A and B are shown apart, each in its own frame.
With several copies, the nearest count.
Chain A
Amino acid sequence: MNNIDFTRIKPYGDTYNDGKIQLSFTLPVPYGEEAKEAGKKLLEKMGIEEPQITHAEEAGTGFTFIVAYGVVSHTVDYSAIEVPKVDSEVMDKYGVEDFIKEKIKRDVVIVGATTGFDAHTVGIDAIMNMKGYDGHYGLERYGGIEAVNMGSQVPNEELVARAIELGADAIIVSQVVTQKDVHIPNLTNLIELIEAEGLRDRMLVIAGGPRIGHELAVELGYDAGFGPGTYAEDVASYVVQEMVKRGLV
């Protein structure tokens, strides 16, 4: 039955290739038949066939909120997709500790912070604090890792200064506020500072946060990026293996 053509996949409602998709959006036009028609036209421009406006309502004068379903005409070649991924094997805490003992034979120093105006600490704490997150201990509890969590709203300059002071093997930075892309200049500035100090080759620089992906991080000049659902062991595994790979031991 299910001989799917992975070079041409489409959304699935209840039958292969039915292309069914759900949308919702608001148009800045008064509620009425014309608003629904405008919604349909928009869907058609997106390549959606049989657009159905299943719900439309006035959302404050001059706005119409629309819920729609339709059939996507486009297909995607799934077989050709290659996503850059953090290229290391995830070990658990004990695995990481053993790895350090055997292959690095000294303490690994990791300095972390949420930088710029960003005041969100829960993400970086989840990775670094003793207690960790969701039952996974944080870096502070790892034998063989010296983890320094500088907290939030840390200026990039202070973070770099501290990393130099401690001879850090890795800087890890969290960015949670991403509205209007405020995180991009801030992350870029950090890399520039590190390069200016001539440190870029001597340490790993890693970013994380709910809207940070590995791909974006690499694009911005970081070694790796970690998104939602990351645990301490994901970062730790990457850091220790990458240190060995790069001969930073």
Chain B
Amino acid sequence: MSKLGLDFKLVEEARQSARNIALDIQGLIDQHTSVTVERTVARLLGVDGVDPLDRPLPNVLVDKINSEGRLDLGIAYYLGNAMLHTGQEPQTIAEMVMKEELDLTRIPTHDFDEVKKKVLEVAQKTMVRIRKNRADREDFLRTLGEGPKPYLYVIVATGNIYEDVNQAKAAARQGADIIAVIRSTAQSLLDFVPYGPTTEGFGGTFATQENFRIMRSALDEVGQEVGRYIRLVNYASGLCMPEIAAMGALERLDVMLNDALYGILFRDINMKRTLVDQFFSRVINGYAGIIINTGEDNYLTTADAIEEAHTVLASQLINEQFALLAGLKEEQMGLGHAFEMNPKTENGFLLELAQAQMAREIFPNAPLKYMPPTKYMTGNIFKGHVQDALFNMVSIMTNQGIQLLGMLTEAIHTPFLQDRALAIENAKYIFNNMRDLGEEITFKENGIIQKRARQVLEDAHHMLKNIEVEGLMETIAQGKFAGVKRPVDGGKGLDGVVVKSDMYFNPFMDLMLGGASRE
């Protein structure tokens, strides 16, 4: 039953509009591939490592073929053909290409069905590995268990993976359920994924497969110690969205930041590129049982939380539909929202409560990701700690899923060990002390809270209707999301988008799209 008296017919209509919006774009997606999508395929077929100039081999392979304008068949085809030709594994083939011992477009072509069969053989091994990771996670959750919801989610961001490990373990011991390793500034703009363990980053640590592995094993270790499975998060968004998703699937990450629009709006990445990339990345996440986190919270760090609340809901609905198209289940949709109301607002807490409860009711099965106050945090850490307390309170009152803990030093520096400890203490205290408050209270008919939620729903409904008519890309170009205007052909990475040929082949798309659950 709705505590807010929401009109669920309106919700259904809004959802239908979002579906149409997503379907409209899906047409475009289906016609394209991108350099990172192809590098992902290469990675999933086993290609890894870097050349003497530190260029990742997947880039070496894909760039070579793309420079000849022949990526429209997909890298899988070339690798398969080369496997048949050389009898070697993809990794060896990639190394041969790097050493210029082999030119993938210039070797004899084998029967296409034979090629496919060969590729699928190798792909199956990867599928097994990913399924095993998924099964391992489920095992851990069954045997070790997990913390109660909302999960306590904290970030580490030292720039040094080993220092991150210290901080992450300390946090787990204090009670954290989820650890996110924040990426180094601007990694999302790199059109390749760095390689190996790294110890120098700015405002975060590079997302590399080796760093994933190091952190994963540290968290498994501390998870045993504390008797809870500790989830690991990283960021897929950016110019390498599907590649990072693949790395996450291979290294048993549990959560991936992954939004259909974030890169466009906040990183000025080209629309087509982002839309194409997000699809494959989500297919992978879906199969690997990874929870995605979308980035609607970011809207409110730029735009006003009261005026622009409906854009958050509209975007959540669009993200949901894109996710469904990519085979993600509702239980994997960590849709984002954020406590970014100006603390001076009279009854601001009520408006926030309305928004959070609304998200809960409209997405009942999604492990919503709730982001802390950041914009209105100041150098007054004492006040900040209370802002974070109110944030925790809204969360427990509205039954949120994933609580990204606020830090009292948000406006000052990336978290110190003690900031994190205090954040965990704050959340644990409130979640326990108010455990069943949400269950216990109802909201006044037509009161401030109910009216606010209805208004936001109506505005989102209206916005989606408009987008349905105008098209998503056009809407973004007009600056209707987060006040940011992005032209259709502007932004980074458009040159990495390639129109597929009729014979285009990506083995993982079909293998994964069914989702692990359907096997």
Contacts and interface: CB of A to CB of B under 8 A. Distances in A.
Does B bind A?
yes
Interface of A: 1-2, 12-16, 20, 22, 24-26, 52-55, 57, 59-61, 63, 65, 67, 69, 117-119, 121-122, 153, 177, 179-180, 182, 210, 228
B162 A55 contact: no
Nearest to A68: B379
A14 B381 contact: no
Interface of B: 157-160, 162-163, 166-167, 169-171, 173-174, 185-186, 189, 202-203, 266-268, 301-302, 375, 378-382, 409, 411-418, 421
Contacts of B418: 13, 22, 24-26, 59, 65
B173 A65 contact: no
Contacts of B170: 59-61, 63
Given A1-B162, A65-B421, A14 B415 contact: yes
B203 A177 contact: yes
A55 B173 contact: no
B296 to A, nearest CB: 17
B379 A67 contact: yes
Nearest to A131: B483
Given A61-B170, A119-B267, A69 B413 contact: yes
Contacts of A228: 379
Given A67-B381, A179-B414, 18 more contacts: A1-B166, A2-B166, A12-B417, A24-B382, A52-B412, A54-B412, A59-B170, A59-B417, A60-B171, A61-B169, A69-B409, A69-B413, A117-B185, A119-B266, A122-B301, A122-B302, A177-B203, A210-B411
Given A20-B416, A210-B411, A15 B160 contact: yes
B421 A14 contact: no
Contacts of B158: 14-15
A216 to B, nearest CB: 16
A69 B417 contact: no
A118 B158 CA distance: 18
A199 B422 CA distance: 49
Contact of B382 (A13, A52, A67, A119): A67
The 8 closest A-B pairs by CB, nearest first: A60-B170, A54-B379, A55-B379, A13-B416, A55-B380, A117-B186, A59-B421, A1-B162
B202 A153 contact: no
B381 to A, nearest CB: 6
Contacts of B409: 69
Nearest to B159: A180
A27 B173 CA distance: 17
B174 A117 contact: no
A121 B418 CA distance: 29
A208 B203 CA distance: 20
Nearest to A24: B418
Contacts of B186: 117, 119, 153
A60 B203 contact: no
Contacts of A177: 185, 202-203
Contacts of B382: 24, 67
Contacts of B189: 153
11 contacts: A1-B162, A1-B163, A14-B158, A15-B160, A54-B412, A55-B378, A60-B170, A119-B185, A122-B375, A177-B185, A182-B202
A57 B383 CA distance: 12
Contacts of B267: 119
B163 A14 contact: yes
A13 B381 CA distance: 15
B128 to A, nearest CB: 34
A54 B381 contact: yes
B268 A153 contact: yes
A65 B54 CA distance: 41
A2 B169 CA distance: 14
Contacts of B414: 14, 179
Contacts of A52: 412
A118 B186 CA distance: 8
Nearest to A64: B418
A215 to B, nearest CB: 17
Nearest to B381: A67
Contacts of A121: 302
A22 B268 CA distance: 37
B67 to A, nearest CB: 25
A69 B413 CA distance: 10
Contacts of A60: 166-167, 169-171, 173-174, 417, 421
A24 B383 CA distance: 13
Nearest to A118: B185
**Which of A26, A65, A117, A119 has most B Cβ within 10 Å?**
A65
Contacts of B378: 55
A197 B45 CA distance: 51
Contact of A54 (B202, B411, B415, B416): B411
Nearest to A69: B412
A197 to B, nearest CB: 26
Contacts of B379: 53-55, 67, 228
Given A54-B379, A55-B380, A63 B417 contact: yes
Contacts of A179: 202-203, 413-414
A26 B301 contact: no
A76 to B, nearest CB: 17
Nearest to B170: A60
Contacts of B166: 1-2, 60
A5 B490 CA distance: 53
A61 B173 contact: yes
A180 B203 CA distance: 8
